[in-house]
Structure formats: C-alpha cells, structure tokens
Amino acid sequence: MAKQQQVVIVGGGVIGLLTAFNLASQVQSVILLDRSNLGQESSWAGGGIVSPLYPWRYNPAVTALAHWSQDFYPQLAERLFASTGIDPEVHTTGLYWLDLDDEAEALAWAKRENRPLSVVDISATHDAVPVLGPGFSRAIYMADVANIRNPRLLKSLKAALLALPNVTLHEQCEVSAFIRDGDAVVGVESSKGPIHGDQIVLTAGAWSGDLLKTLGLDLPVEPVKGQMILYKCASDFLSSMVLAKGRYAIPRRDGHILIGSTLEHEGFDKTPTESALESLKASAVELIPALAEAEVVGHWAGLRPGSPEGIPYIGEVPGFAGLWLNCGHYRNGLVLAPASCQLFADVMLGREPVIDPTPYAPAGRI
C-alpha cells in the first residue's frame, strides 16, 4: 500500500488509539475522531484484566487474539512509558478462579493451549490471599495473568499520538454519516464538517452498529452496560486477582481495588444504579470480607460493544471499498487490543498477518 494515504479513524477508545498508533509510521497521515473525549467510554470503564474472564468458554478466534496480546502487553507498556513518561502499569498478580462449575473444562483447555493453569488447594489459596472470604472450597490459579491500569494506558496512548506530527486528534467531533463516491467510502460527515480520507476505519465500539446503519448495513454490535465499584486499601492489601460467580476483584499497585461487573441490556443508558451498587458491594464482601469496612470511592458504568460470541470484526467491508472495521470486542477490548490492532494494520497494509485473519473478516458476518 502506497504511503501517501490519509486514514480517518472514527472512535477514540483503546482500539482506535492503538490502531492510529500502529498505522502512524506506515501512512502519510492519520486523523482520529471521537464523539466525546478520547478513551472515556468502555476502555476507561473496564477492569483491565489481560485475560478473558473465563478464557476456556470462548471461541478459539478470541483465544488466539488474547494469547498474542497477553504476551505483547509488557513490551507495549514499556515502549509507551519510555516515550511518554506515563506508565500504563502492567501489574502481574496472577488470577484465582474460585468454585468453578466447569473446572474440568478449564484444566483441559489449559493443557491443550499450554497455559499455566493449575489446581490449588484452598488452604494454600488462603495462605496466598489472606483477605479472601471463607465461603469457597476450590480454586484454580494462573500465575502470569496481569492487569493493566486502563485509564493510564489511554493517557499514555493519547500522549504518544499527540507527539506524532502526522496524527491529528479531534475530540467532541461526532460522525453522523459516511461520504460515498460510487461504491467507495471516501470520508465522513462530522460535527466539524466533512473529513475525507483514502481509508475510513470504524472503531466506535458500541456505537459502530448505529453508524453502519446509515449505509444500510446491519452489524450485530449493541451496547451492553457494565457497572464497577472502586475501593482504596493499602497497597499490599490484595496480592492477586480473584474471581467467583462472574464477579472479580482486581488490585492496582497503589491499593485501589476494582470490583466488577454487571451485564445489563439497557441500550445506551449508562447511569450507575443503586441496585447495581448494592449487588457489587455484596460480591465484594463475599470475595473479601474486610471490604465491608472500606469506603466505595468510585462507582461508574460503561457500555461494552456486544457481538456474537465476542468475536470482533477486523477487516474491510465487502462492497464498500475503503471502509474498514475494528470493532465488536464485547467484554475483551482491552484484552484483545494489541493483537486486534496489529492484525488490522497487517491486513490493511498487505503484510503477513500475525494471526489468521479469516475468523474476524466482516465478509459473510454482516
């Protein structure tokens, strides 16, 4: 692909930011647009566990992206920290799954995929995580699972892009339609006027489906609300991530503890609710009884881009030359971002792809 191209990216979450970052050195210019402020939607709201919550329950297409990303995140974070001075804080704590119904399937998956997942005696689990609640009888553990401090990752990516002379960032710039030239998509109509590009990339998360409707396309990506709460404890309070009954506790390096999350189909409403607060607090206390005495210092909601089986759409849209998708990551946008954005750049630029792109191609899926 010739380097004289201008690429317009619609959506400034982690997928849009990292897509821009990967393309910037390969194309003439990148223009990134976001309807509000960069990285303030689901990328900011998520927990940042660098693993699907239950990786063995996913399609192999999700697993392939997850494994590549897990291995790549430490070097991405180091590179961003070195260039921006903002540390995305990849924090490798390991993850305990408690009282799983499908423990046998999890262990079989780990053996097949060569991942370091093993059964741990519950008393050894309590030794390793002294604050863990008493109500659990079984545990499995994966040692190398990290979490990334997603608000810091987003700040670091934004700073890295601001330093690049051929990248333009437009916040508060809502896209309402695509500009067509015959079968080709050559730009977008935005609140700042028409913006043209040789390639248009849709990375608008939960909003991607609505934008594609303007072209008569039916992309099955819909908003799925998730609420989280945050506690502040001592930095050594919780040594590892723990997960039970679909709820998890994530320790940050400075002692912040995230508890998540709900799964709600409420359209684009992201108002935090009292009922979710109470439910999350109950889960927090079941996992870690000492949190009953701790103060909730944050409570928020985000909208995940729900998609069938959580398999993202990565590639060019058939019949719409110049229109590309990198969206629909559902619960795993942060987990899958490095691999998704590397694969996207490979496909767009005609390079040898890091992962087989077939399962993610929009052809036949929209």
Q: pLDDT for 39-82, tens place per residue? A: 999 999 999 999 999 999 999 999 999 999 999 999 999 999 99
Looking at the fold, whether 282 and 320 belong to one and the same domain comes out as no
135-159 mean pLDDT: 97
Residue with tokens 């692909």: 1
Looking at the fold, whether 24 and 122 belong to one and the same domain comes out as no
List the end-to-end C-alpha distance of the chain, in Å, as a whole number.
Answer: 26
Residue with tokens 């971002």: 337
In a domain, 90, yes or no: no
In a domain, 352, yes or no: yes
Residue ending a domain, among 289, 306, 323, is 306
pLDDT grade for 236, boundaries at 50, 70 and 90: very high
Residue 49 and residue 99 in contact, taking contact as beta carbons nearer than 8 Å: no
In a domain, 115, yes or no: yes
Which residue type sits at 211? L
Radius of gyration of the chain (CA): 21
In a domain, 345, yes or no: yes
Looking at the fold, whether 318 and 245 belong to one and the same domain comes out as no
Q: How far apart are CA 201 and CA 209, in angstroms?
A: 13
Residue 309 and residue 58 in contact, taking contact as beta carbons nearer than 8 Å: yes
Number of domains in the chain: 2
Q: The whole model's pTM is what? A: 0.96
Tokens of 266: 């409420």
pLDDT grade for 3, boundaries at 50, 70 and 90: low
In a domain, 338, yes or no: yes
Looking at the fold, whether 135 and 23 belong to one and the same domain comes out as no
Tokens of 178: 């695509």
Domain span including residue 99: 95-143+222-306
CA nearest 243: which of 287, 276, 281?
287
CATH number of the domain enclosing 343 = 3.50.50.60
Looking at the fold, whether 272 and 299 belong to one and the same domain comes out as yes
pLDDT grade for 208, boundaries at 50, 70 and 90: very high
* Mean pLDDT of all residues belonging to the chain: 96
What percentage of the chain carries pLDDT values higher than 70? 99
Looking at the fold, whether 246 and 342 belong to one and the same domain comes out as no
Q: How far apart are CA 123 and CA 121, in angstroms?
A: 6
Residue 154 and residue 102 in contact, taking contact as beta carbons nearer than 8 Å: no
pLDDT grade for 4, boundaries at 50, 70 and 90: low
Residue with tokens 């993202």: 312
CATH number of the domain enclosing 283 = 3.30.9.10
Q: How far apart are CA 140 and CA 100, in angstroms?
A: 8
Buried b (16+ CB within 10 A) or exposed e, 185-209: bbbbebeeeebebbbbbbbbbbbbb
Residue ending a domain, among 290, 306, 322, is 306
Q: State residue 1's pLDDT score.
A: 47
In a domain, 343, yes or no: yes
Beta strands 247-251 and 241-244 are antiparallel
Q: How far apart are CA 208 and CA 213, in angstroms?
A: 9
336-342 mean pLDDT: 98
Residue 28 and residue 8 in contact, taking contact as beta carbons nearer than 8 Å: no
Instruction: Report the sign of the C-alpha dihedral through residues 42, 45, 48, 49, in that order.
Output: negative
